Amino acid sequence: MENWLVINKGADFQGIGERFCISPVLARLIRNREVVGDEAIARYLNGGMECLYDPHLLKDADLLCEKLSYAVDCGKKIRIIGDYDIDGIMSTYIMYQGISRVGGTVDFQIPDRITDGYGLNENLIRRAAADGIEVIVTCDNGISAMREIALAKELGMSVLVTDHHEIPYQEENGKRIYQKSEADAIVNPKQPDCKYPFSGLCGAAVAWKVIQVLYEKRGAAAEEAEAFLENVAFATVGDVMDLKDENRILVKEGLKRIRCTSNVGMRALILKNNLEPGQISAYHFGYVLGPCINASGRLDTAKLALKLFLEQDAPTASAIAAELTKLNSMRKDMTAEGVLSARAVVEAGNAGEKVYVIFLPMVHESLAGIIAGRIREAYNRPTFVLTRSEDGVKGSGRSVEGYSMYDELCKCSEFFTKFGGHPMAAGLSMREESVDAFREKINICCELTEADFIPKIKIDIPMPAGYPDVALVQELTRLEPYGKGNPKPLFADRDLGIRQASVVGKNKNVLKLVLTTSRSERVSAVYFGDVAAWINYYKEKYGSEELDRAFAGQNNRIRLSVVYDPQINRYQGAETIQLVIRNYR
């Protein structure tokens, strides 16, 4: 079941189109993305570096850089402690390169997912003290490390936190009491008293903002910091941040730079994935290159990915990129097996009711988040996947719209030895004997109704299938980059006939259609989803004979409604429109 909804935002689309020299269709699509007012529209369409916010507005940014600059002047030993995912790796890279550039004595430590777990821990703190470290700088972590930071302070170290995760809190009498560590400075735009205009930055963007302030304080050219924009963009998409407001500009600017990247490692990774730098889009960040970086932290060590970006020798970088690509292939196979096991738990009725809590003891703990995401997509339920670890159980969760995973975990905090995250994703550690009790309570606390579990397909505009032309599709590129919070526009039409149907592709997994509209127009379409399910759906609805007639190119009774996005199909120099079917009825 799916609930198809037309986004129905009101505005003077004709007037907007005239003022900004765009079509009323594009004006409506921009309004659908909650961009309101001429200033915001101009920023959405044309915003560049000049539209980025002042990093000095970040609470403690100047304080942190003063302390960091003093440490550089005194020759203090600085250690960056990052995280093992793409955001943690990119933020560590930015911070390490930035502090090195201004003369700091700096090294880095990326926690091992298995032995260290996420972020700061006592072992990392004591290791830093043993190594004579005087200043710890966190990247993409630290906001919830109260005990660990207290230990570092006891051992005589300064701690500077850069993070973007939710601020931990306790609820007392219906009021949130936010917790704060003993860190010497904390830069996180989600702090309640932070005046930065946009709180949705990833960890790498926060690190970059800090380096901007540090460069200014140390007299380094501001333009030098712009070299890190490709890393910021990579992390923003890879960490699935909303591509709204400043994030969208950061990704646009980063994509410009990565297409002519001078980073030897970045270039090697692109080439190993059979791409060219000039082709890179946000899609490649999220679904091709990003998973290779994350695979290192899942199955090996994230230090390997960081080494790639620091490498100056092209052959060595190529070898590292090849290893990361191979690790990602292994990760795909292991994930597929884990998803099958998780589905079996769900189908047996042992996962929970509204919120799935799936315990897969033998699955590699690094794959829990990916598997949770796949189950969430399949069943449209908030999903936690838990695995057995060296010190109990670790897990990751992926949420649905309207269910803040972090807030719900706060209601069950008594079960966890450690937890944190965002509204849409979270991580946790707990004792194995608490799994069943956690599953029970998280479901009791859930206020979602059955209606909330029906997938909502948001249609931008009901548009006749024959309407899109090459000019319109080219204009739609002004909405890019696409991603979470700025989705590719979807259109819909109904009462379409099938003139011809065929299954093509090397693996026979692509459905090609020639559709006919109510005005007798012929429109090419393609479907890349589950072709067998498509065939079975229309076979049950209209019968085998009618479906056979469609595949034979004969007149038939089949009528379908589709949600689609139009694309330009280029073949032998000719450009034609092809609809990519996303949903059907």
| Domain limits, the chain | 7-44+456-584, 55-258, 349-453
pLDDT tens digits along 159-183: 999 999 999 988 888 888 999 999 9
Residue whose C-alpha is closest to residue 202's, from 286, 117, 100: 286
> What single-letter amino acid sits at 111?
P
Please compute the mean of the pLDDT values over residues 124-140 and round it to a whole number: 97
Q: How confident is the model at residue 19 (pLDDT cuts 50, 70, 90)?
A: very high
Please compute the mean of the pLDDT values over residues 102-122 and round it to a whole number: 88
**pTM for this entry:** 0.90
Q: What is the rounded CA–CA span in Å between residue 347 and residue 343?
A: 6
Strand 383-389 relative to strand 356-359, pairing:
parallel
pLDDT at 390 over 90: no
Strand partners, 50: none
pLDDT at 418 over 90: no
Q: How confident is the model at residue 119 (pLDDT cuts 50, 70, 90)?
A: confident
The residues, any chain, with a CB within 8 Å of residue 415's CB and separated by 6 or more, are 430, 431, 434, 437, 438, 441
pLDDT at 260 over 90: yes
> Tokens 């979470």 — which residue?
484
Q: How confident is the model at residue 112 (pLDDT cuts 50, 70, 90)?
A: confident
Q: What is the rounded CA–CA span in Å between residue 550 and residue 564?
A: 20
Could you list the beta-strand ranges (E) of 85-233.
105-109, 135-139, 158-162, 169-172, 175-178, 185-187
More confident residue, 264 or 507: 264
Tokens read off for 89: 């790796």
Q: What is the pLDDT of residue 34?
A: 95
Strand 559-571 relative to strand 574-584, pairing:
antiparallel
> For residue 375, what are the CA distances in angstroms to 335, 336, 380, 384, 537?
11, 11, 8, 9, 22
Residue 518, Cα to own-chain centre: how many angstroms? 40
The CATH fold assigned to 55-258 is inorganic pyrophosphatase (n-terminal core) (3.90.1640)
Q: How many CB atoms lie within 10 A of CB 355?
A: 25
* Length of the chain in terms of residues written: 585
Please compute the mean of the pLDDT values over residues 408-428 and round it to a whole number: 91
Please compute the mean of the pLDDT values over residues 476-498 and round it to a whole number: 96
Question: Which CATH architecture fits 349-453?
Answer: Roll (3.10)
Question: Which CATH architecture fits 7-44+456-584?
Answer: Beta Barrel (2.40)
pLDDT tens digits along 190-213: 999 999 999 999 999 999 999 999
Among 129-143, 164-178, 192-206, 344-358, which stretch is predicted with the lowest mean pLDDT?
164-178
Q: What is the pLDDT of residue 421?
A: 81
More confident residue, 572 or 470: 470
Q: How confident is the model at residue 507 (pLDDT cuts 50, 70, 90)?
A: confident
